[in-house]
Amino acid sequence: MIRIENVSLAFGKTNILKEISVSIPKGGITALIGPNGAGKSSLLGLAARLLPLQAGDISVDNLSVSSTSGKVLAKKIAILRQDNHVGSRLTVRELVGFGRFPHSHGHLTENDHRIIDESLRLFGLTEMSERLLDTLSGGQRQRALVAMAYCQDTDYLLLDEPLNNLDMYFASELMKSLRNIADTRAKTIVIVLHDINYAGSFADRIIAMKDGQVVADGKPADIMTETALGGIYGFNIPVISVGGQPIALPFRR
């Protein structure tokens, strides 16, 4: 369980997060939605100790992120950030293999290779596994980065807008893979999404943030309503039902 208690964050005079308290129990996919600048990425960054905690506490399975060593946490929680500039002189396989670093510290074992192969397969990268990263498209690189995070084989997976640069096919493939991982491997996935329809279709729970606060939290059916979405994003978003599935249509001119 990821427990976030009274977490605040400020850069200078700008308050990014204001006294956030929320718990994410083990298992399932939790989607983090909300307008730009709501503090979603900062919250993930704090949970993955990329940013130092200023106030409050965050713990993962009762290990406080501020006092537990990085080595221990790296086997518990993996994160994919929004903007990644990884070196270009790496093959896809090498990059994904870095995900095994917390376990094998660079000396890959048979078991590591097996997990790397599995990650490559899971994210449709097997055929391009020997290609250099700078020969890939943005979407392919994005998938390689997700595969690397998965390869870390942690109970918790934090993904910050993993659908960036992905076309419709791969976006839905990625979400299906994540759903599959969450269901069959008992992984806990927290994912920042901008397309709320993906959140509504694939997540077990949606947490909505706005101006550094949690403004809505519940099952997709509770959040995917005209009133709830209107409150989060500040404009009218019609929601229709297609085969029992609520679909938001923010497209009206």
Region 138-197 residues binding another protein, contact defined as CB under 8 A: 149, 152
Stretch that binds another protein, among 14-22, 23-31, 72-80, 173-181 (CB under 8 A): 72-80
The single residue among 73, 175, 190, 203 that binds another protein, judged by CB under 8 A, is 73
State the minimum distance, in angstroms, from the CB of residue 222 to another protein. Answer: 32
- Judged by beta carbon, residue 106 or residue 244, the one nearer another protein is 106
Instruction: Please check whether residue 247 is in contact with residue 200, taking contact to mean a CB–CB distance below 8 angstroms.
Output: yes
**Could you tell me which of 137, 205, 123 has the C-alpha nearest to residue 171?**
123
State the minimum distance, in angstroms, from the CB of residue 154 to another protein. Answer: 10
What is the x/- site pattern for another protein, positions 106-135, by CB under 8 A? xx----------------------------
State the minimum distance, in angstroms, from the CB of residue 148 to another protein. Answer: 8
Q: How many residues bind another protein (CB under 8 A)?
A: 29
Instruction: Please check whether residue 247 is in contact with residue 240, taking contact to mean a CB–CB distance below 8 angstroms.
Output: yes
Q: Does 75 bind another protein (CB under 8 A)?
A: yes
State the minimum distance, in angstroms, from the CB of residue 197 to another protein. Answer: 28
What is the x/- site pattern for another protein, positions 77-106, by CB under 8 A? -xx-x--xxxx-xx---x---xx-xx--xx
State the minimum distance, in angstroms, from the CB of residue 115 to another protein. Answer: 15
Name the residues that contact another protein, by CB under 8 A. Answer: 48-50, 69-75, 78-79, 81, 84-87, 89-90, 94, 98-99, 101-102, 105-107, 149, 152
